Amino acid sequence: MRSIADSTRLCVPRITAFAVCLAACAVLPPSAEAQELGARWGTANRERAYYRIVDLPIPEGLVIEAGAFVSLSGDRIAVGTRRGDVYIMGRVDEDKPEPKYELFATGLDEIFGLAYRDGALYVTQSCELTRITDTSGDGKADRFETISDAWGYANYHEYAFGSEFDEEGNLYVALGLSQSYHSRALFRGWVMRITPEGETIPIASGLRSPAGIGPNEHGSLFTIESQGPWNSACSLKAVTPGAFLGHPISFNWYEYAPNMGPAPTQPESGSRVITEMERVPELVPYAVIFPYIRMGRSITGFTVDRTGGAFGPFEDQMFLGDFTLSLIMRATTEQVNGVWQGACYPFREGLSTGILDVHFTPAGNLLCGGTNRGWPVRGLEPFALQRLDWTGVMPFEIERITITPDGFRVAFTKPVDESTGADPDSYALSTFTHIYHGAYGGPEVDRTIPTVESVELAQDRRSATLVLNALKLGHVHEFDLGALRSRDGDELLHRHAFYTVNEVPEDR
Amino acid sequence: MLHPAAAFRFALSLLCTSAVAAATPQAVAPVLPGLHSKHPLDDRLVGRLLLGELNCTACHEEASARAARRTMGPDLSDVGWRVASDYMQRFIADPAATQAGTKMPGLLGTRPPAERAEIATSITHFLVAGSPRAFSRARVSESEIEAGEALFHSVGCIACHDPRIPAPQGIDVIWGWAGAVDLGHVPDKYSPESLAEFLFEPTRVRPAGRMPDMGLTQAESRSIAAYLIGTSAPTHVPLEVLPELVTEGARRFELLGCAACHALDGMTPPRPRPAGSLDPTRGCLAPDSVDTPRYALSIYQKVALRSALASPPDALSDKDKIDVTLTALNCIGCHVRDDYGGVSPSLDPYFTTSELDLGNEARIPPQLTLVGAKLQGEWLRKVLFDAASVRSYMHTRMPRFGAENLAHLPELFAREDDVEPFEMPIPKGDAAGIARDAGRVLLGIKGLSCISCHDFNGKPSPNFRGLDLIDSCERLQPGWFARFLIEPQTYRPGIVMPESWPGGVAAHPILEGDTQAQIRAIWYFLSQGRTARTPEGVSPVRSELRVTDTTRTYRGRSSIAGFRGIAVGYPGGLNYAFNARTGTLTGIWSGDFISVRWDGQGAGDFNPSGRAITLAQDVSFYRLPDAEAPWPQGPHMDEEHPVDPDPLYPRNRGYRFRGYFFDEESVPTFMYESGDVSIEDRSEAEFSGDTAVLVRTLRFSAASEATLYFRALTGEIEALSQREFQAAKLRLRIPEGSSVLRRPARDGAPAELLLELALPAGTRTLSLEYEIHR
């Protein structure tokens, strides 16, 4: 029998003779870092009950700074990395995962796009779009065919982000500016379409620093833009052919894109997007604006939930990662009078590294990956692969917000309680817009407080139709539904949502 | 506080248990390791813990009202695969005699042995028939056993199970601790596969969390399973399931109320008996109980249960809840909290580390005293629920007990634990820069040299690899951080961390020797996270790519090959650079391959590891109108003219890159076009004495006859013969044929060696040799 009755006196810390101060302990002091990067949402602990974060262990010796994912045949997923490797992962969906990693290709140049077709990977690396195949069948890539390198690549910060295939078999590449401010090499700041025949066609100008490109939930091409000059916040932008997407520095390449016609009129700095659209008809307003810091600081790869409910109540919505704040957000879009717009919503914070791309696994979990190398990032892991799994418990969330001729329809994931749900005071709205200018970032301006004149709850209480005294064109409409309760008495998991109004539908 | 009589009671409990064990080995009382560790619970709390852990709550309302928590026994849905049928039968017939210290009560104790066996057999048939998979026991390998033995004694299993080999440092240990959960039955019970699966995710089968997930990989689980089962496990005779026994077994399962403790599809648990029906002098609690279900309770366990049942069913205080949880799950087998818990002296040598010089802190799990004031709430949740871990050198692992079993702990700790607050205001303006710089100095070798014992931002400490400081603000609360820096011995007794502010007085003069300002500066510096500048004394991590036994191809921007650069390195130490934008061999060097920038924002830019011979970057193939025409030069950009004035330069000169492919040795062949001519470009390395030769073969395919010029060399060129040319340290050999060495037409312009290639329709090859010194 071993003796535990140790005679050694334990040295007990001198706990300051403070009566236990419940109030002080309940609210943990924020760390200094919180103010450097922006406050947390503070919802991580509650989010945990609905979406758990599962680490996918990476064997020692492998560095997987995920920049892009794509699903292959079977249950395999390819991951392309900032270090230029392509790994093929298997067994990503197990409860306690121990994924298999096989190095498929190495020695490429910062991968931010992967697509897969007929046994070939289409890799967007900084220098080109490459078709990669394994012709010998030994599991390693041995043929690297250049599909397109019809853009300049000669300066710092010239990142290239690639899409998956669209229905016609096209791929798209979004090209960041030179040094993030200039357009010194061909088509920097543009979006290129690469056709199945291998032709490269410039289709839109005016990007600053895109970080992901692909379809929205309706199958239309979107790209995510970072905050900076001519962009006071990150935004989802609709890439319609011929579009000018806001940053005029890349007008110098119109002569190399005859299909695009002459360069647009230079927008006036210090104006508003909605105003400049009158003068610059090619200017496409930003579809979903993500209020800076409150909703991300450098939003990256996005994907659409087509899991058929396996990931919870957000089927057919977009999920987006944020690099700086190591979190995931949602967005929904709709086309009104031919113009795209929509809303963004907080979803899950507390990931371990800067997120560069997200992708749904075969089982319908959300694979998130990235690195925190190079820029300030909240998550402290140098690189990580993590999975968000729905626990099966229904969160009380704003499911989506859509616009009506005189207000909004707000849908919920669970029925709301009648007394708060039908009370206009439960719907605190305010609006703002940004200055459209060449300076970096910018404040939220022209704030208004609309009045919610009436609320009508749907019979199933899963949605509320709000009538406002006015909708502000060109403004982000900010919702704070903190006072709302579900029928079970729950508060919303996230009380905020942000709808960008570019157009108002006609009265029907 | 530890109850004054706790130590005595603890000793008494050991005595009672062992006395019983000695007299009737089949009647060892249910073992809960935490109750044999140095726990803080009085009789009443031990009783309330037992009411939950023994699942008295399943049958008694009185127990539910008082139990510290509700638990369930093992899930039986696949038990016929997990457990050998012969063992199952014996265990059901007499649990305590089959597995010493089991928490499973005897349910057949009042019946004659033959009837017991009969009932147990039918239930076994029922359970085996209901399992989707069938039990089978494979042999295990010696190598697995060896790995399993090492893991079993290092990852933390021995906190609850007796060790089986002497501790690494050979200290004499007396085994046979009454708190150890016995594993003697394991070879009879499991197969290597079923035990491995259980060890990989124990809480899936046993939701109570007392057997936690030790963070084992599948391979590690297999090793430990092999070790515990060994090579002498009995041969298993598969059970021939008889339908009539299955039906009878199902009936018995229901009658005996097995579903009260075990989840099984289609079986509903019996309703608990109403309050008022429990008589604490009878049943399990009677001195000579023969009733069922029968727990082989020790005298002390009965005392504790009676004490709990005699006390009012009031809510436990926060402190009691913490104490009971830490005891029930035996957290206190490894962790000290206040005056209880901790690794027992006899087990201490089994707690090992890869960083011996960091002292006990590197071996022994951290104390939980004040943990609610020490850790940020979210970090504590990550540790408890997401297996977050920062002490990679500690061999013992923090187990995962299952989120539902610990869900209440973070808030309880936060409410219970408190340190005097320490303000960490965010410096603004100039003060921010001053604080950041001072924090960096203090951490570095010219300051307090924290980095001598701590890694920093993924970069290794030059001496001892203590935990990385970069995540301090993510993990720690500022108040605890500050107090700990000033009084490390108070907050982590025995830690090797030196006192840098003895008595609260700064030893370093920076920031006017102001202790508070220095600590705030360190906090602010660390709060920058990954972007914090590396303190002095930490070496940067260099990424050297080396070539071993196969050729290596690497794409990245480089001063030697442009943004669309490609480096190729051959075994033996010869390398070249290729500019894919122009289709040109732009550099060649011997020795090591390349260094790559993968730190900070590094995009993987490469530089030759050796001194390289550099060549021109312009297109190297072009359809010159005649041998006198000037060679088309690439556009020139500089600070004053940063925009590319001729963005289609290569394309408009007929050049187009098509990619590359590898052969079996991974040697790349580049594919590109010049006008209508397709070119395949492949090189091999040859070595002879002190020279290395790159043998480059160009294969041209043209649909019709074409004349193409190849600019083979530029610079100061000396013709050694018709076929051999020297430029600086490079010697180039070309085949016989038409070549022109053009002298510069103007000062400063380079000489050019041009080859005129008259290409027939079809294919033609050209071989060149680039020779350099090794």
3-state secondary structure labels for all residues of B86-142: HHHHHHHHCHHHHCCCCCCCECCCCCCHHHHHHHHHHHHHHHHHHCCCCCCCCCCCH
Same domain membership, residue B522 and residue B589: no
d(CA A25, CA A9): 29
Q: Is residue B185 part of a domain?
A: yes
Q: Is residue A340 part of a domain?
A: yes
The domain total for chain B is 4
Torsion over CA: B371, B372, B378, B382 (sign): positive
- Phi first, then psi, for residue B91 (nearest 5°) are -65, -45
Range of the domain at A254: 46-390
Q: Is residue A187 part of a domain?
A: yes
d(CA A301, CA B186): 49
Same domain membership, residue B527 and residue B555: no
Instruction: Say if residues B393 and B496 touch (Cβ distance below 8 Å).
Output: no
CATH number for the domain including A476? 2.60.40.1220
Nearest CA in chain A to B413: A25
Cβ contact B415–A25 (<8 Å): yes
Model pLDDT for residues B682-727, shown as the tens digit of each residue: 999 999 999 999 999 999 999 999 999 999 999 999 999 999 999 9
Structure tokens at A497: 């949502």
Chain A contact present for B378, CB below 8 A: yes
* The pLDDT of residue B614: 96
Q: From the list A14, A131, A373, which residue is nearest B490 (CB)?
A: A14
Q: From the list A2, A16, A149, which residue is nearest B346 (CB)?
A: A2
* Chain A residue numbers touching B415 (CB-CB < 8 A): 20, 22, 25-26
Cβ contact B603–A126 (<8 Å): yes
Query: Rg of the Cα trace of chain B?
Result: 38
B549 half-sphere exposure, CB direction, 13 A CA radius: 1
Q: Please state whether beta strands B613-614 and B584-590 pair in parallel, antiparallel, or not at all (unpaired).
A: antiparallel
Domain final residue pick, A366, A390, A414: A390
Cβ within 8 Å of residue B249, ≥6 positions away: B121, B122, B123, B124, B125, B126, B127, B129
Same domain membership, residue B66 and residue B89: no
* The pLDDT of residue B539: 80
Structure tokens at A237: 């932008």
Of residues B27 and B195, more confidence is placed in B195
Same domain membership, residue A183 and residue A102: yes
Instruction: Say if residues B241 and B129 touch (Cβ distance below 8 Å).
Output: yes
Q: Is residue B32 part of a domain?
A: yes
d(CA A167, CA A304): 15
Nearest CA in chain B to A9: B339
Is residue B432 classed as helix, strand or coil in its secondary structure?
A: helix
Chain A contact present for B641, CB below 8 A: no
Domain final residue pick, B498, B531, B564: B531
Is residue A216 classed as helix, strand or coil in its secondary structure?
A: coil
* The pLDDT of residue A13: 36
- Phi first, then psi, for residue B244 (nearest 5°) are -65, -35
Q: Is residue A76 part of a domain?
A: yes
Instruction: Look at residues A341, A350, A347, A352 and name the one whose alpha carbon lies nearest to residue A329.
Output: A347
Q: From the list B38, B426, B601, which residue is nearest A374 (CB)?
A: B601
* Chain B residue numbers touching A99 (CB-CB < 8 A): none
Q: Is residue A119 part of a domain?
A: yes
List B residues 529-588 in contact with A (Cβ-Cβ < 8 A).
529-531, 552-557, 562-564, 580-581
Our CA angle for A337, A342, A346, nearest 5°, is: 175
Q: From the list A16, A31, A110, which residue is nearest B478 (CB)?
A: A31
Q: Is residue B411 part of a domain?
A: no
pLDDT band at B173 (very low <50, low <70, confident <90, very high): low
Domain final residue pick, A370, A390, A410: A390
Same domain membership, residue A296 and residue A270: yes
Cβ contact B478–A182 (<8 Å): no
Cβ within 8 Å of residue B606, ≥6 positions away: B545, B554, B556, B557, B558, B565, B567, B594, B595, B596, B597
Cβ contact A31–B217 (<8 Å): no
Nearest CA of chain B to the CA of A124: how many Å?
Answer: 13
Average pLDDT, chain B: 91
Model pLDDT for residues B95-109, shown as the tens digit of each residue: 999 999 999 999 998
Model pLDDT for residues A287-314, shown as the tens digit of each residue: 999 999 999 999 999 999 999 999 999 9
Same domain membership, residue B91 and residue B34: no
Chain A contact present for B718, CB below 8 A: no
Same domain membership, residue B184 and residue B155: yes
Nearest CA of chain B to the CA of A226: how many Å?
Answer: 17
Q: From the list A20, A149, A378, which residue is nearest B416 (CB)?
A: A20
Same domain membership, residue A189 and residue A111: yes
* The pLDDT of residue B567: 98
Q: Is residue B353 part of a domain?
A: no
Same domain membership, residue B224 and residue B128: yes
pLDDT band at A22 (very low <50, low <70, confident <90, very high): very low
* The pLDDT of residue B13: 39
Instruction: Look at residues B635, B630, B143, B155 and name the one whose alpha carbon lies nearest to residue B398.
Output: B155
* The pLDDT of residue A508: 61
Mutate to test the interface with A, among B557, B595, B605 (most CBs of A within 10 A): B557
Same domain membership, residue B174 and residue B38: no
List B residues 484-523 in contact with A (Cβ-Cβ < 8 A).
489-491, 493-494, 523
Among the ranges given (A113-122, A147-156, B461-470, B742-751), the one the predictor scored with the smallest mean pLDDT: B742-751
Cβ contact A127–B563 (<8 Å): yes
Does the pLDDT at position B306 exceed 90? Answer: yes
Mutate to test the interface with B, among A1, A190, A249 (most CBs of B within 10 A): A1
Nearest CA of chain A to the CA of B254: how many Å?
Answer: 30
Same domain membership, residue B642 and residue B690: yes
Model pLDDT for residues B246-290, shown as the tens digit of each residue: 999 999 999 999 999 999 999 999 998 888 888 888 888 887 766
d(CA A347, CA A398): 10
Chain A contact present for B381, CB below 8 A: yes
Dihedral, A208, A211, A217, A222 alpha carbons, nearest 10:
30
* The pLDDT of residue B172: 57
Q: Is residue A7 part of a domain?
A: no
Same domain membership, residue A108 and residue A180: yes
Domain final residue pick, A356, A390, A424: A390
Range of the domain at B716: 547-773
d(CA B55, CA B208): 10
List B residues 198-217 in contact with A (Cβ-Cβ < 8 A).
200-201, 204, 213, 217
pLDDT band at B678 (very low <50, low <70, confident <90, very high): very high
Does the pLDDT at position B624 exceed 60? Answer: yes
Q: Please state whether beta strands A66-71 and A77-81 pair in parallel, antiparallel, or not at all (unpaired).
A: antiparallel
Q: Using a pLDDT cut of 70, give the percent of chain B over it.
A: 95
Q: Is residue B556 part of a domain?
A: yes
pLDDT band at B473 (very low <50, low <70, confident <90, very high): very high
Chain A contact present for B393, CB below 8 A: no
Does the pLDDT at position A448 exceed 60? Answer: yes
d(CA B159, CA B380): 22
Nearest CA in chain B to A186: B647
Residues in chain B: 774
Domain final residue pick, B232, B260, B288: B260
Q: Is residue B400 part of a domain?
A: no
pLDDT band at A66 (very low <50, low <70, confident <90, very high): very high
Same domain membership, residue A117 and residue A145: yes
Q: How far is CA B335 from CA A417, B100, B173, in A?
A: 46, 26, 21
Cβ contact A10–B336 (<8 Å): yes
Nearest CA of chain A to the CA of B519: how many Å?
Answer: 13
Nearest CA in chain A to B555: A108
Of residues B151 and B272, more confidence is placed in B151
List B residues 73-112 in contact with A (Cβ-Cβ < 8 A).
none
Same domain membership, residue A416 and residue A334: no
Of residues B535 and B176, more confidence is placed in B535
Entry pTM: 0.88
pLDDT band at A2 (very low <50, low <70, confident <90, very high): very low
Q: From the list B218, B377, B382, which residue is nearest A28 (CB)?
A: B377
Q: Could you tell me where the DSSP H helices lie in B364-448? A: 371-374, 377-386, 403-406, 409-416, 430-443
* The pLDDT of residue B402: 94
Give the H/E segment covering residue B765: strand B762-773
* The pLDDT of residue B740: 87
Same domain membership, residue B149 and residue B57: no
Q: Is residue B379 part of a domain?
A: no
Chain A contact present for B642, CB below 8 A: yes
Instruction: Look at residues A198, A212, A221, A222 and name the one whose alpha carbon lies nearest to residue A128.
Output: A198
Q: From the list A10, A15, A136, which residue is nearest B370 (CB)?
A: A15
Domain final residue pick, B501, B531, B561: B531
Same domain membership, residue B621 and residue B737: yes
Chain A contact present for B524, CB below 8 A: yes
* Chain A residue numbers touching B637 (CB-CB < 8 A): 154, 184
Nearest CA of chain B to the CA of A486: how many Å?
Answer: 24
Long-range contacts of A82-85 (CB under 8 A, 24+ apart): A82/A110, A82/A111, A82/A356, A82/A371, A82/A373, A82/B603, A82/B604, A83/A110, A83/B598, A83/B604, A84/A108, A84/A109, A84/A110, A84/A111, A84/A125, A84/B554, A84/B555, A84/B556, A84/B604, A85/A111
Mutate to test the interface with A, among B367, B418, B484 (most CBs of A within 10 A): B418
- Once rounded to an integer, what is the mean pLDDT over residues B111-131? 96
CATH number for the domain including B484? 1.10.760.10
The domain total for chain A is 2
Cβ contact A136–B664 (<8 Å): yes
Nearest CA in chain A to B579: A127
- Once rounded to an integer, what is the mean pLDDT over residues A93-114? 97
Q: From the list A3, A32, A143, which residue is nearest B473 (CB)?
A: A32
Is residue A398 classed as helix, strand or coil in its secondary structure?
A: strand
Same domain membership, residue A310 and residue A436: no
Average pLDDT, chain A: 92
Of residues A347 and B359, more confidence is placed in A347
pLDDT band at A432 (very low <50, low <70, confident <90, very high): very high
Model pLDDT for residues B65-81, shown as the tens digit of each residue: 999 999 999 999 999 99
* Chain B residue numbers touching A374 (CB-CB < 8 A): 600-602
* The pLDDT of residue B166: 86
Cβ contact B342–A153 (<8 Å): no
Among the ranges given (A453-457, B169-173, B472-476), the one the predictor scored with the smallest mean pLDDT: B169-173
Same domain membership, residue B172 and residue B255: yes
Nearest CA in chain B to A43: B378
Interface A-B: count of C-beta contacts within 8 A:
236
- Once rounded to an integer, what is the mean pLDDT over residues A400-415? 98
Does the pLDDT at position B601 exceed 90? Answer: no
Same domain membership, residue A239 and residue A175: yes
Nearest CA in chain A to B569: A107
Same domain membership, residue A312 and residue A206: yes
* The pLDDT of residue A18: 33
Same domain membership, residue A190 and residue A79: yes
d(CA A35, CA B536): 26
d(CA B98, CA B80): 18
Our CA angle for B24, B26, B27, nearest 5°, is: 75
CATH number for the domain including A184? 2.120.10.30
Same domain membership, residue B497 and residue B457: yes
Dihedral, B649, B651, B654, B659 alpha carbons, nearest 10:
120
Q: How many CB atoms lie within 10 A of CB B451?
A: 25
Q: Is residue B153 part of a domain?
A: yes
d(CA A13, CA B337): 10
Q: Using a pLDDT cut of 90, give the percent of chain B over it.
A: 81
